[in-house]
Homo-oligomer: A and B are copies of this chain.
């Protein structure tokens, strides 16, 4: 009536994640050159160095007058105003003693000048005579190369570029950049119980909710979903679907078909793979979550239960997708304080889908919606995962628990 899979060796969450780090870190994505304007949250694949100092000229930090330090004694001092340097303008000769020049914030400080006196401490006595009543402690000049020296690393290889980095590249007029290609993903959702959109609801059947979940989460994580299929529980269909994806995917994710009692294609593939990472976890929900690497492709077999699929994605697939892109997980791991007693106990660590609230420097966590692994009523609402340790005692209010804050929530 069903094919039992081999006895599986359950490992801990941390052991599973350690295996992902060790093995996924060895894989590398191809690179491509793209426009910097399209590079938000892409991962840079080479060190980008400063081709010149920045700033490229001495810049005024304030509106005021540029002048020579040596003239500033025996206040008030009078100087001859010999010009005006608005933003963007050059000044074609050095300033000499007795002269001042009007300058705007960011303006070019002429050679010879070595201090900018703020407008507020000056007064025009006539059209070209300036009186300076005091000087500030600082020279108010931003020196050449004070932000970056030629050869400094602007963005290091394996950095995820954000808008701040785009602005930095723009400030050096760097318009093209080498980045890693987006990881390509194939998703296969399996289950004879799955309807197609538009089908009529009948006893025993449900609409496919995990497919959209996995697809959305992959895309949030910078991946490109290049294959997406839904198949019945049929070993040949699954074999064919996997084969179809192998040529074009960095990661293949199957959903469903990993429980005892289901067919064992995934188990067979895992057994024959270059590197089985895990096929059983000391964790609920999703204890049958499976991962292996074969011929450079990372495979994940997620549970068909929505809650288990969600949890398995965040704890393992997200982690691997980020590592494949040379990045740390975006889940913020921390210690949260439970806001109410949790009664259920389990022989495995239980990961609950919950909500967090930061109040000053305190991270409070609590449940949201149902905690059954087949319940999808909190997948939208959950903003954190947290761990109820295994054992047979209830978890009291105020317990400090391992918590992961979820990104993009």
Contacts and interface: CB of A to CB of B under 8 A. Distances in A.
Interface in A310-347: 310, 332-337
**Identical chains bound together, number:** 2
Interface string A34-51: 001100110000000000
Nearest to A52: B201
A89 interface: yes
A373 B279 CA distance: 52
Contacts of A233: 86-88
A334 B306 contact: no
Contacts of A305: 105-106
Contacts of A203: 56-57, 90-91, 108
Given A61-B372, A86-B233, 19 more contacts: A41-B408, A56-B206, A63-B260, A88-B233, A90-B203, A106-B206, A108-B203, A142-B375, A163-B214, A163-B215, A163-B216, A166-B216, A170-B209, A170-B212, A333-B358, A335-B360, A336-B361, A337-B361, A361-B400
B336 A167 contact: no
A27 interface: no
Contacts of A216: 40, 162-163, 166-167
Given A164-B310, A164-B382, A337-B361, A87 B192 contact: yes
Contacts of A246: none
A13 interface: no
A5 interface: no
Interface stretch (A171-179, A290-298, A389-397): A171-179
B195 A173 contact: yes
A179 to B, nearest CB: 14
A147 B377 contact: yes
Most chain B C-beta atoms within 10 Å of own C-beta, residue among A166, A202, A337, A375:
A166
A367 interface: no
A86 B192 contact: yes
Contact of A167 (B105, B169, B358, B376): B376
Contacts of A75: none
A197 interface: yes
Given A87-B204, A362-B361, A210 B332 contact: no
A166 to B, nearest CB: 5
A244 interface: no
